[in-house]
Structure 1
Amino acid sequence: MTNINQSISSGSVDRARIPPFAYLLTICIGVIGSNSLALGPIAPEVARSLGANVPAVMTASAVFGLGTAVSAVFLGRFIDRHGPRRMLAAALLLLAAGLGGSALAPSLAFLVAAQLVVGLAAGIALPSIYTLASVIAPTGRESETIGLVLTGWTLSMVAGVPLSAAIADFAGWRTVYVIVAAATLIACTAVKFAPAQEGATGTATSPLAALSVPGVAPLLIACAAFMAAFYGVYAYIGEHLHAALGLPVTANGLIAVSYGFGFGAAAFLDRLIDRFAAARLLPLIFLAVAGVYVAMAVASGSYAAMLAVVFLWGLANHFGLNVLIMRLTGLDPAKRGAIMGLNSGVTYIALFVGTIGFGAAYARAAFFVLPLAAAGLMLLAAFAVATARR
């Protein structure tokens, strides 16, 4: 916790350079995010090709999330035994195999099975990436390093999703998976051979043992509330714009881009976080996210206002995710892999629960109710992290 909770003055510390390996981890996040976000835009083409309907095709996305959650919880502990770098390289190899299977899928059942493999690989890769980010971060630049790695989600959202749709239009949906698989193999080779800190190896920690680390449980409760709020609202913005505001489906693209730019722009401000104690900042950040949700409820009748609020949403969510990861990885370095596995598992379970729960609410009420409910979840998250052991 020393590196996490120290207050650092910009003039008193020789700021070490962020290692180039962090940029490689950013690309790894971008590759995983490109797969997880790509199926939605290309689903109609996949459905036509495989003789299925779009909801059936999206089953593959749900199975991917389920595989990620199960793998992260039960296999993430092996990161502590074998080291995050070795586990990341193995996970990327398995990820490439699953993506190759997706590209060759002769039927929907085969595609679903291939995406399950991709999910199992992602469940190991994501906590490995977050663990490595904390290992290689220079003292005093922990938040900047983790923030840089997190911008991989921006790459996948701002560049990966539009490119996937364009590639599917011009070269077919299978080409999308071929390209992502090739990029994954390149990333795997780079992870294996690029110079970087390996991360310590030790013993595998069971999920229950990781959960018993003081401070982990309340932070995971906060993670669940944080992620359920995000996915629950994000899943229905597009439908609200189309059904309530009468906008074309293409308007959803600008919403994604606005969020992505906000999320990415926050990386330039991450150095400010390193000057303060993460434990003290996180409740305030979550309260700020709650305020953004309230603003979204107020702005829900205006597309221009929604674009502005969504940018702030991406900005605030970046800070929240960054500091949450800092807190979790700082609790017990010997159990980082298992703890980050629990974090990824909770994230994807929250994706499922948030999407289903908010969908039920949206079916009975107007959209503005969803961000208000999300604000309530963020108040719960702020309370949980405020009570977590530092």
Structure 2
Amino acid sequence: MEPAVITRHLLLLTAAIAVIGANSLALSPIAAAVAASFPGRSAADVMTAAAFYGLATAGSALLLAPMADRVGSERALVRALLVLCVSLGLAALSPALWLLVAAQALAGLPAGMALPAIYTLTAQVAEKGRESETLSFVLIGWTLSLVVGVGFAALLADLLHWRAVFSVLALAAAGLALGVSRCRDWGTRTGGEKPSSALMALRIPGIHAVLLNVGAFMTAFYGLYTYLGPHLGEVLQLPASFAGLTIAVYGLGFGVAAPLGRLVDRHGASAAACVTFAGLMLVYLGLMGAAMLPLVLLTLCLGWGVGNHLGLNLLMRQLAELDPTQRGAIMGLYSAITYLCVFAGALLYRPIFTHYGFAACAWASAMLVLPALGWALGQWRRKQAALE
């Protein structure tokens, strides 16, 4: 990819994902520190904010994201970043836990608008034949949110205060809104004058199977991720900085996988999907076995990041190629399901974590990858049959 292509547009999109991702992921490693500010509250109570953030993001992505097909994804992204700035400022000032939960729910509304807009803009500026490579570059934003954002958040919580985390993110969102608004030439939109709707997008052939896989895949990740911080902080009695390091290692694995998008473009997605989802199941089973071994957990998080990057790339590419004229609505459905899984993962995994521990959560995640693996094997077999 030529450097000129990634200088402005892709860097801004990558940074926007980094800020949104940092807010959605930072609460887990600092949950114990946040709970200490609210007497009588536990880290698991604090993660309720993550659940409601996910629910609000899902609703926003379902109802508001398709409007980007009419107003333009770049304008939708600017507006979303400005609202995100305000909501993060409110989170930093919250004097009670219920207000922090409300602020995070408010932050979910612009996040649900911004993420589909980012993915749509990525598809617009991608060169033909380099779609996975371009998407992999933008997905590095999740790496930045994990390695830099979450790691820095845990460090800030230890050295200063957890409120400093949301203050910094609010300022970053404001700066990005300014940057996106000043950037031009975002490519050609393929949609019509009227916005598509989620219900219309659900009629696209093949979309239901992919969305089912997205739901299982994301529940597996967010359910386990939500209780990684509480497991390390409350069960293993490790500091927030170690939880931040663990998540940073996951993010490093997520980033290391970015160049592999080029191999997917070259050799095809079906075979890559089989290897990716099978490998991810093994990683989850490894995390189950290493639940009480912090250093082994730290190492396995690297493979967790690699597997999740490739799996996310493959699922998103499949969705983006279904119907370019309804890409905003399709990506809205993707984000809606993703953040319903943030909500569902946080709530459904809580009794598993409370009664059976982190190892049981990891086993549940391994089982949830099975639908994606079955889908990938079916795609590969059909491709092989077509070649014969």
> The TM-score by the shorter chain falls in which range?
0.7 to 0.9
8 Å Cα contact 2:28-2:230 kept in structure 1: no
Question: Which SS does the other structure have where 1:355 is aligned?
Answer: helix
- 2:212 corresponds to which letter in structure 1? I
SS in 1 for 2:6: coil
Corresponding residue number in structure 2 for 1:119:
108
| Residue pair 1:225, 1:381 contacting (<8 A) in 2 also | yes
Aligned counterparts of 2:159 and 2:289: Cα–Cα separation in 1: 40
For residues 279-294 of structure 1, what are the structure 2 equivalents within 5 Å? 279-294=270-285
Counterpart CA distance in 1 for 2:51 and 2:281 is 27
What is the Cα deviation at residue 314 of structure 1?
0.6
Aligned equivalent of 1:269? 260
Name the residue aligned to 1:99: 88
The 1:323/1:344 distance shift into structure 2, 3 A limit, reads same
Counterparts of residues 179-328 of structure 1 (less than 5 Å): 179-200=168-189, 201-202=191-192, 203-238=194-229, 240=231, 246=236, 248-249=238-239, 250-300=241-291, 302-328=293-319
2:49 paired residue among 23, 48, 60: 60
Contact 2:78 2:177 in 1 (8 A): yes
Aligned residue identity for 2:238: P
The residue type equivalent to 2:20 in the other structure is I
- Residue in 2 aligned with 1:141? 130
Q: How does 1:337-352 map to 2 (within 5 A)?
A: 337-352=328-343
Unpaired segments ≥5 residues, structure 2: 384-388
Deviation at 1:154, TM superposition (A): 1.4
Structure 2 CA distance for partners of 1:354 and 1:141, relative to 1, 3 Å: same
TM-score by length of 1: 0.86
Distance 2:289 2:163 in 1: 41
Aligned equivalents of 2:63 and 2:110: distance in 1?
A: 12
Tell me which amino acid in the other structure corresponds to 1:39: L
Does residue 158 of structure 1 match 2:147?
A: yes
Change (3 A) 1:160 1:385: same
Residue identity opposite 1:112 in structure 2: V
> 2 CA distance for matches of 1:182 and 1:267?
28
Match of 1:6 in 2: none
Contact 2:125 2:186 in 1 (8 A): yes
2:257 aligned counterpart, secondary structure: helix
TM-superposition CA deviations, 1:204-233 (whole Å, max 9, x none): 122111111112111110001111111222
Distance in 2, matches of 1:42 and 1:277, equals 40
1:47–1:294 CA distance, 2 compared to 1 (3 A)? closer
Alpha-carbon distance, 1:268 to partner? 2.7
Q: Percent identity?
A: 42
Q: 1:387 to 1:257 in 2, by over 3 A?
A: same
Unmatched tracts of structure 1, length 5 or more = 1-13
8 A Cα contact 2:78 2:181, kept in partner? yes
Task: Tell me which amino acid in the other structure corresponds to 2:185.
Answer: A
The correspondence for 2:362, drawn from 357, 371, 374, is: 371
Residue correspondences, number: 376
Partner of residue 69, structure 2: 80
Greater mean deviation of Cα atoms: 168-177 or 18-27: 168-177
Q: Which letter does structure 2 place at the counterpart of 1:63?
A: F
SS of equivalent residue, structure 1 residue 381: helix
1:333 Cα deviation after fit: 0.6
What CA distance in whole angstroms lies between the structure 1 residues aligned with 2:306 and 2:139?
12
Aligned partner of residue 275 in structure 1, secondary structure: helix
Greater shift after overlay, 290-299 or 314-323?
Answer: 290-299
- Name the aligned partner's letter for residue 232 of structure 1: G
Shift in alpha-carbon separation, 1:363–1:56, aligned structure 2, 3 A: closer
Q: Deviations over 1:41-77 (max 9, x none)?
A: 4455555656673455443332211110110111111
Given that 1:19 and 1:137 are in contact with CA atoms closer than 8 Å, whether structure 2 keeps it comes out as no
* Higher mean C-alpha displacement, 185-194 vs 201-210: 201-210
Read off the aligned partner of 1:381 and give its amino acid letter. A
Deviation at 1:135, TM superposition (A): 1.2
Change (3 A) 1:93 1:168: same
Deviation of 1:304 (Å): 3.4
Which residue in the other structure is 2:386 paired with?
A: none
For residues 177 and 217 of structure 1, the distance between their equivalents in structure 2, rounded to whole angstroms, comes to 36
TM-score by length of 2: 0.86
CA distance in structure 1 between the aligned counterparts of 2:38 and 2:225, rounded to whole angstroms: 28
Q: Does 1:26 align with 2:14?
A: yes
CA contact (8 A) 1:31 1:180 kept: yes
